[in-house]
Amino acid sequence: MLGYNARMCLQYDLHSHSKASDGTLTARELVERAHAAGIDVLALTDHDSLDGLAEARAAAAALPLHLIAGVEVSVTWKGQTVHVLGLNLDPDDATLRAGLDSLQAFRDWRAEEIGRRLDKAGIADAYAGARRLASGRIVSRTHFAHFLVEQGRARSVREVFKKFLVNNKPGYVPGQWAALDETVAWIRGAGGDAVVAHPARYRLTGSKLRRLLGEFKEYGGVGMEVVSGSHTTDDMHRMAGVARTLELRASRGSDYHGPENPWVDLGRLPGLPEGCVPVWESWDIPRAAPADRLQS
Ligand code: AMP
Ligand code: MN
Ligand code: MN
Ligand code: MN
């Protein structure tokens, strides 16, 4: 394996989850696995939570791996849920923390409501089950999905979402997440860069996507994920074109949630397509490598 400095460029993965939200690895396990997979710069971006960052930072300190403090904020834009990453931010920023607290309060209420609705649909104890599977404060639909698979209600997480947890299904609860402008303001206020996550996944028409990204840029958003674990090769090239046209920076992230999802792994993403300006271009990433990496 090439050393940290000897490689042409550092390997970035700027989207990942730990047990602090709906990932299945602890923050420490995630960081160690990212290092083993050849990642040099990793962003931990749990849903609406900064709780894994201290542990991730401590784990990264023992490795030649640079940890980027991040978060994936749940946003409602024109009735649709959109995810916005805050990257390279100050996790102690009080306004950001207060904003995320308000989202966690909505999440807590929503989790109870999902439980009540599933109960009416004949599935008992789902709230308690999801709570048991969630190790952090964040209770996500993923935890409900794991519980329902455990109960034999479906064969896979994907199937649970389709049958129970999306719009017009018994366990779906509509609601308002953060507004796009306030989300970008929280991220910028904490010194971070705001990046729209997996833009191809929202199934927006080309013009609606450009509207979303145009508004986002007006509010001070700087980038969008071009290379993502949930993008096809075709999505990636399309999103590279959108990023170039709208002069948004490009990000690269696996959206890794743990080894149970083998189709999204760490360290396997393609590089950014030609002509993309990396979101990390303006960051100060230390290039000095500890001796063990240089010798490997
Ligand atoms: P929540 O933020 O609690 O509404 O949960 C959203 C999370 O559920 C996403 O971040 C994904 O990890 C997961 N998710 C959403 N849709 C699906 C799906 N169709 N199949 C599997 N996981 C999904
Ligand atoms: Mn998730
Ligand atoms: Mn997401
Ligand atoms: Mn994610």
CA distance linking residue 266 with residue 258, whole number of Å: 9
Residue with CA at minimum distance from ligand 1 atom 6: 141
Residue 14 has pLDDT above 70, yes or no: yes
**Amino acid symbol at 107:** R
Atom of ligand 1 nearest to the CA of 143: 3
Task: Supply the residue whose CA is at minimum distance from atom 3 of ligand 1.
Answer: 140
Residue 294 in this model has a pLDDT that exceeds 90: no
pTM: 0.95
Q: How far is the CA of 178 from the centre of ligand 4 (A)?
A: 16
Query: CA 178 → CA 100, 102, 130, 173, 198, distances in Å?
Result: 9, 9, 23, 16, 18
**Nearest by Cα to 6 from 35, 46, 32, 40:** 40
Q: What whole-number distance in Å separates Cα of residue 188 and Cα of residue 3?
A: 34
How far, in Å, are 56, 118, 123, 159, 171 from residue 154 at the CA level?
33, 14, 12, 6, 14
Average pLDDT, the chain: 94
Q: State the pLDDT confidence band at 7, using cuts at 50, 70 and 90.
A: low
In contact, 198 and 85? CB cutoff 8 Å: no
Side-chain-side CA neighbours of residue 20 (13 Å): 23
Q: What angle do CA 206, 212, 218 make, to 5 degrees?
A: 130
Q: At 291, is the pLDDT very low, low, confident or very high (cuts 50, 70, 90)?
A: very low
Q: How far is CA 106 from the centre of its chain?
A: 19
Q: Is the pLDDT of residue 9 over 80?
A: yes
pLDDT at 127: 98
- Report the pocket of ligand 1 as residue ranges, CB < 6 Å: 22, 47, 74, 140-142, 157-158, 161, 257
Q: What pLDDT is attached to residue 3?
A: 45
Question: How close is the Cα of 23 to the center of ligand 4, in Å?
Answer: 9
Three-state DSSP state, 219: coil
Task: Give the Å distance between the CA of 257 and the centre of ligand 1.
Answer: 10
43 three-state secondary structure: strand
> What tens digit of pLDDT does each residue of 128-183 get?
999 999 988 899 999 999 999 999 999 999 999 999 999 999 999 999 999 999 99
- For the cut 90, the answer to whether the pLDDT of residue 2 exceeds it is no
Report angle CA 255, 252, 56 to the nearest 5 degrees: 55
pLDDT at residue 197 greater than cutoff 90 = yes
**Which ligand 1 atom sits nearest the alpha carbon of residue 72?**
10
